[in-house]
Amino acid sequence: MSIQERLDYLHELKERAALGGGTDRVKAQHERGKLTARERISLLLDPNSFEELDALGADMSDPSSEERLYGDAVVTGWGRIDGRAVCIFAQDFTVFGGSLGEVVSEKIAKAMDLATKTGVPMIGLNDSGGARIQEGVGSLAGYGEIFYRNVQASGVIPQLSIIMGPCAGGAVYSPALTDFIFMVNGTSQMFLTGPEVIASVTGEETTHEELGGANSHASKSGVSHFTSEDEQSCLDDVRRLLSFLPSNNMDDPPTVDTGDSGERILSDILDILPEDAQNPYDVRDIIERLVDNGDFMEIHELFAQNIVVGLARIEGNTIGIVANQPLYLAGVLDIDS
């Protein structure tokens, strides 16, 4: 094969890889109100900043097959958000339901190693049915590699998990080890296994949403930290959260010129605070007056509503806020709060 023929062949493989599981499956993904892995990456990252890694790793479900899928069920690499470097993986549900086999786990582990070594946030866009059944124990070993890295990176770099589809098994164990979980209302779920398996094992009928939908995890289990109405606003929230965070544990959070002054007098706070301590008030009204431009990113908005936690800025510097919320349970502390 001449050099030109080799280059043409590589180009053809890359084009095949970019199609994921094929046009019919991409169409089905769109019909469910979901974007593809590559569309999500391009919405999340700064324009033209994405550099892909391992684009041609092919699936190992049947290594002798002519039909092996190049790129397998994940797109990995690095790029920028607001000019700052991040590492990223996006699972591709159009390829074997985004399930994780040997090659997928190797690609994700490499991106995680790159994030930890260079001290930049690791972002996982999850849309996966968990361990790939066809690859058996190789898939489980692959999850071992990922969980180990989640734990090693904990407290060193921010790890963000975005749940963008029906995620099961290992595809939710790893996010549960990360710092922040984002979910999309109606299209993303987190469960150990789907409703069909539950019904056949326990006889209990349930739905995807009831079992692991965004609302269940935002309000009941507290597993998810942020809920969005669609994928675009979810990815916008990811960018916003990162604007408050340092890239690693040796770094300072970014300082932003908010145009707000630390000398500003909060004259109307006394109108909000009731004279009688028995009267409830919404502590968010105080927080919004206190922080720069009222810009407060609440975490766990629907969980343990007797405490309000989140991130904001004062004089352009990131601060964390923990506030009792007299509006719920008189602001007492319980286990969830």
The residues that touch ligand HXC, with contacts defined as CB under 6 A, are 96-97, 99, 129-133, 140, 143, 166, 168-170, 193-194, 197
SS3 annotation, the chain: CCHHHHHHHHHHHHHHHHCCCCHHHHHHHHHCCCCCHHHHHHHHCCCCCCEEECCCCECCCCCCCCCCCECCCEEEEEEEECCEEEEEEEECCCCHHHCECHHHHHHHHHHHHHHHHHCCCEEEEECCCCECHHHCHHHHHHHHHHHHHHHHHCCCCCEEEEECCEEECHHHHHHHCCCEEEEECCCCEEECCCHHHHHHHHCCCCCHHHHHEHHHHHHHHCCCCEEECCHHHHHHHHHHHHHHCCCCCCCCCCCCCCCCCCCCCCCCHHHHCCCCCCCCCCHHHHHHHHCHHHCCEEECCCCCCCEEEEEEEECCEEEEEEEECCCCHHHCCCCCC
Complex with ligand HXC: residue 59 or 292, whichever CB lies closer:
59
Complex with ligand HXC: residue 166 or 310, whichever CB lies closer:
166
- Residue 147 CB, nearest approach to ligand HXC (Å): 7
- Residue 127 CB, nearest approach to ligand HXC (Å): 9
CA nearest to 182, candidates 300, 43, 321? 300
Q: How many angstroms separate the CA atoms of 37 and 74, rounded?
A: 8
Complex with ligand HXC: residue 70 or 143, whichever CB lies closer:
143
- Residue 204 CB, nearest approach to ligand HXC (Å): 15
**334's tokens:** 């319980």
- Residue 230 CB, nearest approach to ligand HXC (Å): 18
Complex with ligand HXC: residue 135 or 237, whichever CB lies closer:
135
Complex with ligand HXC: residue 121 or 194, whichever CB lies closer:
194
- Residue 32 CB, nearest approach to ligand HXC (Å): 8
- Residue 94 CB, nearest approach to ligand HXC (Å): 9
First and final C-alpha spacing in the chain? 65
- Residue 309 pairs in a beta bridge with 299, 322
- Residue 210 CB, nearest approach to ligand HXC (Å): 13
- Residue 195 CB, nearest approach to ligand HXC (Å): 8
**108's tokens:** 């994700």
Q: How many angstroms separate the CA atoms of 329 and 284, rounded?
A: 15
- Residue 72 CB, nearest approach to ligand HXC (Å): 12
Complex with ligand HXC: residue 79 or 97, whichever CB lies closer:
97
Complex with ligand HXC: residue 79 or 194, whichever CB lies closer:
194
Complex with ligand HXC: residue 57 or 194, whichever CB lies closer:
194
Complex with ligand HXC: residue 133 or 330, whichever CB lies closer:
133
The answer to whether 18 touches 71, Cβ cutoff 8 Å, is: yes
